[in-house]
Structure 1
Amino acid sequence: MYRIVFFLIISFLCFGCNKKEHKTITSLPYYNEPTFTPVFVNKNPELLKTINHTIADFEFLNQDSVVVNQSSIENKIHIANFIFTTCGSICPTMTSHLKTVSDSLKNDDLVFLSYSVTPWIDKPEVLKAYKESQGITNQNWHFLTGSKNDIYNLARQSYYAEEDIGFSKDSTEFLHTEHVLLVDKTKRIRGIYNGTLGLEMNQLIEDIKMLQDEN
C-alpha cells in the first residue's frame, strides 16, 4: 500500500508539469509515523525539522557476542529486518534476498541489522551458525539478540515494523513481518519494502544508491 501511495504521489506531481518544466523526484521521502505516509521535504532545513522521528537508542549482542548499539550505525545508512532462525516461511526468503542486496553493495557505510524475534532461542551461537549457513560473510551484517521486550518495542515503536497495526501492540503479541526498513545516516526512516519480493529488493538497491548520493 505504501509503495502504491508513493507512486501515486509521484504520478500526480509529474502530471502537473508541462512540457517546458519537468519536475522529478530526486530524493527519497521520509516516514514520520506508522501509517507510512510519505513526506517530501526537498532538503529544506526548516521542513526537515518537522521530521522528528528517529530510531531510538538500543544495545544488543550480535552473532559474535559483540555489543551492537546506536554507535554502530552512527552516520551510516542501515537496513533492518526481523527474523527468527527456526522460521520456515518468510525468513529464509528475506535473508536470501537481503544477501543479494548485501553482495551488490559492498560499502563500509552500509550496515545490515537482522533482529531476532525469538531471542530466547536465538542466542549468539545460534545466530552465528545461522549466518554461516546462509553463506553470509559481510562483517557489517549483524544478527542481533537480547531482551525480547526491548527488541519488540524497538521494532514497533521505532521502526514501525508492522506499520500502524502493530504500533500499539506489546511484547506479549508475537512479531512476524516481511518488512525491511531503510534508515538514513540521521536515523530517519526512508523506505519500507516487502523482503519476500525480489522486485522490492531491486528497488531497495536503487534507493540505497540514491541515499548514498544525498551526502
Structure 2
Amino acid sequence: MYRIVFLLLSSVLFLSCNQKKNDAIKLPYYNEPTFTPIFKKENVDLKKQIPHTIGDFSFLNQDSILINQKNIEGKIHIANFIFTSCGSICPTMTRNLKIVNDSLIDSKNLVFLSYSVTPWIDSPTKLKKYKQDNEIKNPNWHFLTGTKGAIYQLARQSYFAEEDIGFSKDSTEFLHTEHFILVDKTKRIRGIYNGTLTLEMQQLIDDIKTLQIEK
C-alpha cells in the first residue's frame, strides 16, 4: 500500500517538474532564412547572438498614412504578404489572420502588417476597400503599399518570407507566400506559420501570449 502511494506521489512530482520545465521554455529566435531555431542562452548578449532584426521601412497604409519602423517599436507584430486581386490563398490567409485579430482584440501593443505584393495595383484606396470588405476594424492592422523593390527586399531579406529559397531571389521574381511571420518587441523573428491552415492560428495566438509576458 505504501509502495503504491509512494509511486503515485513520485509520478505527480515528476509530471509537475516536467510541466514547469516545459513552461520555462521560451520561443526560439530565427536568425537566418533556413529558419533554424535558436534558443537564447542565459547571460548572453542578445545583439551578438541574434543580430538579425527587421529592417527599417516606410510605406503607405490603406488610409494613406505613412507607416514605418516607429509604429512597431516596443510592440509585437505579425507580417504577411497578400494582394487584393488574389483568388487563391489570400482570402483564406486574411480570414485566418482575422481569427488571431479577433481573439486578441484587446491587445493594444499588437500590430498586424499586411504588405501588398502587387503594390503597383494595390493603391491605398483599393486596400481600404479590401479591409472594409473583410470587416476588419482594428486600427492597428495596416494594409501597406509602396514600391515593389522596397516591399520585396523587406519581405525576402528581413522577414525571410519565402524561407531559404526566397533570400536569393531578386525583386523581378514574383513574391507569393502563405507564411505569417511573428516578430517580437525587439524586431526579432520568433515564429513562422502556415497562414492557410486554421489549426495553426491557435498556436500563433498562444505564441503571441507567450511574447506578451516575456521580459
TM-score by length of 2: 0.89
Unaligned stretches of 5+ in structure 2?
A: 1-13
Is residue 62–residue 142 contact of structure 1 (8 Å, CA) maintained in 2?
Answer: yes
Q: Which amino acid is the alignment partner of residue 109 of structure 1?
A: N
Distance in 1, Cα, partners of 2:101 & 2:43: 31
Q: Deviating runs (4+, > 6 A) in structure 1?
A: none
Higher-Rg structure is: 2
Match status 1:163 vs 2:199: no
Distance in 2, Cα, partners of 1:121 & 1:51: 36
Q: Which amino acid is the alignment partner of residue 102 of structure 2?
A: D
State the identity as a percent: 71
Match status 1:184 vs 2:188: no
Distance in 1, Cα, partners of 2:43 & 2:92: 39
Q: Which amino acid is the alignment partner of residue 98 of structure 2?
A: K
CA drift at 1:45 = 3.9
Distance in 1, Cα, partners of 2:153 & 2:192: 18
Alignment size in residue pairs: 197
Q: Secondary structure at the match of 1:166?
A: helix
Match status 1:63 vs 2:62: yes
CA drift at 1:47 = 5.0
Unaligned stretches of 5+ in structure 1?
A: 1-18
Q: Secondary structure at the match of 2:131?
A: helix
Is residue 31–residue 189 contact of structure 1 (8 Å, CA) maintained in 2?
Answer: yes
Is residue 63–residue 127 contact of structure 1 (8 Å, CA) maintained in 2?
Answer: yes
1:140 matched to which residue of 2?
Answer: 140
Is residue 40–residue 49 contact of structure 2 (8 Å, CA) maintained in 1?
Answer: no
Q: Deviations over 1:70-115 (max 9, x none)?
A: 0000000000000000000000000000011001102110000000
CA drift at 1:182 = 0.2
Q: Which amino acid is the alignment partner of residue 209 of structure 1?
A: K
Is residue 41–residue 47 contact of structure 1 (8 Å, CA) maintained in 2?
Answer: no
